[in-house]
Amino acid sequence: MIDTVDRTTEDGLVGEIDRSALETHIDALADLRRYPGTDDQWEAAEYIVDELGAEGVDVELQTVEAYTSVPVSATVTVTSPVHTAFEDAITTAFSASTPPGGVSGELVAVDAVGHSATDLPDLSGKVVFTEGLPTPGAVRAIDQAGARAAVFQSPTEGQLHEMIASPIWGSPSVDDVDELPDLPVAEIHQSDGEWLTERLAGDDVEVAVETQARTEQQELPCPVARIEGTESDRYTVVGNHIDSWHEGVTDNASAVATSMELARVFAENPPKRGLVVGFWPGHSMGRYAGSARYADRNWLDLRKNGVAYIHIDLNGLDGADHLWAQHMAEVGDEHLDVLADGPLPLETARDEGGLLGGGSRPGRNSDQSFWGAGLSSLLSGARFSADHEDAGPVGGGWWWHTPEDTRDKIDFDLMAEEARLYTAIVSRLSNSPVLPHDYRETATEIRALAEGIDDAAGGEVDFGPVYDRLDRLDAALESFAAVANGVDDDGVATAVEDVQVRLGNLLIPALYMESPAHEHDPALPHELLPYLRVAESLPDRTGPRAGFARTKAVRGVSKLAHNVEEAADTVEAFLDRRA
């Protein structure tokens, strides 16, 4: 941790969170079904702008051109050996739409669907039946295996969870539009799935699947508030999503209300560094189209001046029993320090896998559109333990992505306490003499990951160029931390901050991204140093396949070594100027 971080200014800010204001905002938003481009979504956006403007916040109603998809209907009909229709089914955003009457085929059960068609048998002409949520990876694998349609059994008794099947991050470009699924997808209740399982144990089962989704390009409202820093052009981005499935009170009206309150508090108490608050559309039905477009439009400024991204989602969950956190390494200790000191009477716990990304690192979800611009990411909030009676998928309640996500699912006292935690986090990022980012932790993580991949590769690839440059970076960062910990001059603090921002530009994309920094990786499960993971498969490959993997791995080593070298050069140049 950086010693000179301001951990006291927050004490005067957290008490300014107004619980009654949070409740007022929820009352205004709760009955609005904020589907993309609808009157309800525009009404919500105008409410945000009007209310923040009345509080003296600088806020603008921007617009986003987005490719969105709204599920309309689904029916699954068993046509043989008996006739039964499951009309209480749903489809997904970006499901293929079928002709009237649907598509038909033999139903084939698949116990577990991963994220690669190579894990599946040839499913040509079949209708796949499986359990779980229709995630983009599973849908893509089934589609690539040749299936005619897919039927998913809901993981939650009595509930169907709305989902999106596209793996494309944001609106498609000409480079990735062909990755949109071409598969009709339906989700059915557990009881209907159990009935199908019994039928499959006997005779062959034939089914027809009919789906309709409304997929179109449209203009969406995107309110953006901005609080200028009093001493710096640098800023933190706080984001949530304005769109919702059904009323979506905990997902995500509660985060909208919380973000509005954060904007008010910091507008009334201007911080040293600025704050941008984005109310992203296109999260649920456009695969993060709003945040992706904001990042694309503002990439150069974000890379120069952005310091962190805080995503707020699923807060105020009534009955939540633990505190969950994700963060990048350089801000991890500071983040946990805030959470440990916070007022929530909850056990601090880290996510252990699933859709939220695994471990304590952010995953490809939650509007994580700012990795390429080098912004450190933090997420936290009260969640349900997996064994809680009200637990649903991804830490939310059983009502997640259903019509039951209504006002009665909010705990306003908890929501206010979470808002105070976010206030403290923003204050440390915005009011400290230097940023709380400790890139020694990032370098340590890069080394540990590289060594693990190197070991798995069995000596097939030379990681020496990475280790040599990490040695330089480690030594330079120790000296740099000593300067940051002793800052007592504004000029030195600014120079330290410049180095910290540059390190984020270099190390975050190198650690998290396969694509170039100005692009977005797909919304699929992801591992750190993704472009080097192919090296782990080398001991199991022979012939040309081994050569192909080695080619990619060698290039990956060069990519990582280059970014680490530039990071070391940056820190060493700073130290040389002070010598």
Q: Note the pLDDT tens digit of each residue in 555-574.
A: 999 999 999 999 999 999 99
| Domain 70-213 belongs in CATH node 3.50.30.30 | yes
Note the Cα 69 to chain centre separation in Å. 19
Nearest to 104 by CA among 124, 127, 86, 82: 127
9-68+217-431 architecture in CATH? 3-Layer(aba) Sandwich (3.40)
For residue 203, give the DSSP letter: S
Q: Note the pLDDT tens digit of each residue in 465-477.
A: 999 999 999 999 9
Evaluate the omega torsion of the peptide bond into residue 155 and state whether it is cis, within 30 degrees of 0.
Answer: no
> Which CATH number applies to 439-578: 1.10.150.110, 1.20.930.40, 3.40.50.2300, 3.90.180.10?
1.20.930.40
Note the Cα 434 to chain centre separation in Å. 27
- Backbone φ and ψ for 58, nearest 5 degrees, come out as -75, 110
Query: What are the structural domain ranges in the chain?
Result: 9-68+217-431, 70-213, 439-578
Token pair listed for 536: 């782990």
Instruction: Write the Ramachandran bin of 278: left for phi over 0, alpha for psi from -120 to 50, otherwise beta.
Output: beta
pLDDT per residue as tens, the chain (579 positions): 999 999 999 999 999 999 999 999 999 999 999 999 999 999 999 999 999 999 999 999 999 999 999 999 999 999 999 999 998 999 999 999 999 999 999 999 998 777 665 678 889 999 999 999 999 999 999 999 999 999 999 999 999 999 999 999 999 999 999 999 999 999 999 999 999 999 999 889 999 999 999 999 999 999 999 999 999 999 999 999 999 999 999 999 999 999 999 999 999 999 999 999 999 999 999 999 999 999 999 999 999 999 999 999 999 999 998 888 999 999 999 999 998 877 665 655 544 433 333 348 999 999 999 999 999 999 999 999 888 999 998 889 999 999 999 999 999 999 999 999 999 999 999 999 999 999 999 999 999 999 999 999 999 999 999 999 999 999 999 999 999 999 988 889 999 999 999 999 999 999 999 999 999 999 998 899 999 999 999 999 999 999 999 999 999 999 999 999 999 999 999 999 998
Q: What's the pTM value of the predicted model, to 2 decimals?
A: 0.95
Q: How far apart are CA 145 and CA 125, in angstroms?
A: 10
| Alpha-helix runs per DSSP H in 459-525 | 464-485, 490-512
Q: Looking at residue 323, what is its pLDDT? A: 87
Rg over CA atoms, the chain: 24
Q: Looking at residue 358, what is its pLDDT? A: 37
Q: How far apart are CA 291 and CA 250, in angstroms?
A: 19
List the Cα angle 253/74/408 in 5-degree steps.
25
Burial of 122 (0-12, 13-18, 19+ CB in 10 A): exposed
User: In this structure, are residues 366 and 292 in contact, taking their beta carbons and an 8 Å threshold?
Assistant: no
Q: Looking at residue 394, what is its pLDDT? A: 86
User: In this structure, are residues 167 and 179 in contact, taking their beta carbons and an 8 Å threshold?
Assistant: yes
Q: Looking at residue 203, what is its pLDDT? A: 86
Q: Looking at residue 343, what is its pLDDT? A: 66
Q: How many CB atoms lie within 10 A of CB 469?
A: 22
